[in-house]
Amino acid sequence: MGSSEERIFVSGPWVTEREVSYVAEAARTAWFDKAGVFNARFEKAFADYVGVPFAASLPSCTAGLHLSLAALGLGPGDEVIVPDLTWIASAAPISYVGATPVFADVDPDTWCLDAASFAACITPRTKAVIPVDLYGGLPDYDAILAVAAERSIPVIEDAAEALGSQWRGCMAGSLGRTGVFSFHGSKTMTTGEGGMLVTDDEELFKRVQFLRDHGRIPGDVSFVNAEVAFKYKMSALQAAFGLGQIERIDELIAKKRQIFSWYAERLADVPGLTLNAEPEGVLNSYWMVTIVLDPALNLAKAELMRRFKERNIDTRPFFSPLSSIPAYADTEQGRQAAERNTVSYAIAPWGLNLPCGLDMTEAKAERVCTTLFDILRAHGGR
């Protein structure tokens, strides 16, 4: 039986008149010689926020990963290490360039790439690593960067979910050769769809700029392309929306952290339940509020989602290990990872993202927590 209570969505944006007015202005003016004005303003504001000199606005974060790998020259025969617990977009671009994804295990507390597993997965073919800042959390970048530096392995930081997070005062996205972000409609800041690549490497940035414009030499007006490349540009309307959002980023991050605090106050001491980590030296922007249940409760994520749905509350499952999904399960790397990555396989079945969109109120968080308590009691777990 369905619930008559108001539906609570799992995520969503916070849009103000600023974004709407910028988009309207772009619709009127961003043509002819002003076609790139909003993109340039957005890129500059975003780069300044992250603390790097260069930024390229893109149609998706996936495009940013693809461009990063292509600009670094990766191709067939190369291997790229990526954590097993992440969305497929972190790994698919490895296949786009003809390289092979290698799935490493994650840390049991941060749910992000484990440095020891990363080190153990390195082979002579390893040409890059893509740490993922999962749900706004960060891996141990001191350890990961040390392993990468020792073996001269470029780091591509997948900060899709972590805008505003910090590692020892450094902004997420600024820790690798490149950093990439997502502006999907569910993210802390959005352009509807879209992404950004940032870097402090000018030569690499020039290569990215060349590759994202069909391999055209900058300034070319004769349509004589130097290489076969890609079409990865963001529209002026999206950039205008993004400019409005990045100008409000501090309040967006503050709201996300407030939402997490509402949950933490109510759930932090619940037996058998773990929330997102924020280790010493880390500021977590908490894109998603995530719970992981103790397996002893015998309440897997699919059943928990079903019970929330009965009460008109939307949730999202914790990502499944990439090595377990049909896209990779039958590959050699998938089979090896399934045997090796015990932490990823121990966490994934029991994790759930709770509603944490920017339309959340404390009353909504209270209702979600009360519903969770009811479910656990009915299941015999509380």
- Residues 300 and 242 occupy one common structural domain: no
- Residues 219 and 358 occupy one common structural domain: no
pLDDT at 1: 45
Could you give the number of structural domains in the chain? 2
C-alpha 34, offset from chain centre: 31
pLDDT at 14: 98
Q: What is the pLDDT of residues 212-229, one digit of tens each?
A: 999 998 888 889 999 999
Q: What is the pLDDT of residues 309-348, one digit of tens each?
A: 999 999 999 999 999 999 999 999 999 999 999 999 999 9
- Residues 72 and 194 occupy one common structural domain: yes
Q: What is the mean pLDDT of residues 357-366?
A: 98
CA proximity to 347, closest of 369, 321, 315: 321
Q: What is the mean pLDDT of residues 161-188?
A: 98
Confidence tier at 97 by pLDDT (50, 70, 90): very high
Q: What is the mean pLDDT of residues 154-173?
A: 98
6 part of a folded domain: no
Q: What is the mean pLDDT of residues 138-163?
A: 98
- Residues 281 and 318 occupy one common structural domain: yes
231 part of a folded domain: yes
Q: Write out the residue range of the structural domain in which residue 279 sits.
A: 249-379
Q: Is 381's pLDDT higher than 80?
A: no
Q: Pull the structure tokens for residue 254.
A: 């503050």
pLDDT at 192: 96
- Residues 98 and 238 occupy one common structural domain: yes
Q: Is 179's pLDDT higher than 70?
A: yes
Burial string for 341-365 (b: 16+ CB within 10 Å, else e) reads bebbbebbbbbbbbbbbbbbeeebb
Domain containing 262 — which CATH number?
A: 3.90.1150.10
C-alpha distances (whole Å) from 376 to each of 204, 254, 290, 363, 369 are: 51, 30, 16, 20, 10
pTM score = 0.96
- Residues 241 and 270 occupy one common structural domain: no
205 part of a folded domain: yes
pLDDT at 3: 64
- Residues 154 and 292 occupy one common structural domain: no
- Residues 179 and 305 occupy one common structural domain: no
CA proximity to 253, closest of 284, 291, 289: 284
Of 200, 215, 246, the last residue of a domain is 246
Q: What is the pLDDT of residues 200-214, one digit of tens each?
A: 999 999 999 999 999
218 in Cβ contact with 208 (< 8 Å): no
Q: What are phi and psi of 271, to 5 degrees?
A: -60, 140
Helix ranges restricted to H, the chain: 17-29, 37-50, 61-71, 92-96, 115-121, 141-150, 202-211, 236-246, 249-267, 301-310, 332-340, 342-347, 362-379
Gap between the Cα atoms of 250 and 236, Å rounded: 23
272 part of a folded domain: yes
Span of 99-113, 122-136, 218-232, 268-282 with lowest mean pLDDT? 218-232
Q: Which residues are bridge partners to 166 per DSSP?
A: 171, 283
The one-character DSSP state at 276 is P
- Residues 236 and 361 occupy one common structural domain: no
9 part of a folded domain: no
Q: What is the pLDDT of residues 70-96, one digit of tens each?
A: 999 999 999 999 999 999 999 999 999
How are beta strands 316-317 and 195-199 bridged, if at all? unpaired
Q: In degrees, to the nearest 5, what angle opens at C-alpha 284 toward C-alphas 235 and 50?
A: 40
If you average pLDDT over every residue of the chain, what do you get? 97
Gap between the Cα atoms of 229 and 94, Å rounded: 16
- Residues 30 and 140 occupy one common structural domain: yes
pLDDT at 83: 98
CA proximity to 284, closest of 154, 139, 153: 139
Of 184, 215, 246, the last residue of a domain is 246
Confidence tier at 382 by pLDDT (50, 70, 90): very low
- Residues 218 and 135 occupy one common structural domain: yes
Percent over 90 (pLDDT), the chain: 95
Domain containing 195 — which CATH number?
A: 3.40.640.10
Gap between the Cα atoms of 30 and 42, Å rounded: 13
CA proximity to 39, closest of 195, 238, 239: 239
Q: Which residues are bridge partners to 231 per DSSP?
A: 213
251 in Cβ contact with 281 (< 8 Å): no
Q: Pull the structure tokens for residue 47.
A: 């780069």
Q: What is the mean pLDDT of residues 267-277?
A: 95
Confidence tier at 4 by pLDDT (50, 70, 90): confident
Confidence tier at 2 by pLDDT (50, 70, 90): low
12 part of a folded domain: no
Coil/strand/helix, residue 57: strand
Of 229, 246, 263, the last residue of a domain is 246
- Residues 227 and 200 occupy one common structural domain: yes
CA proximity to 114, closest of 124, 122, 106: 106
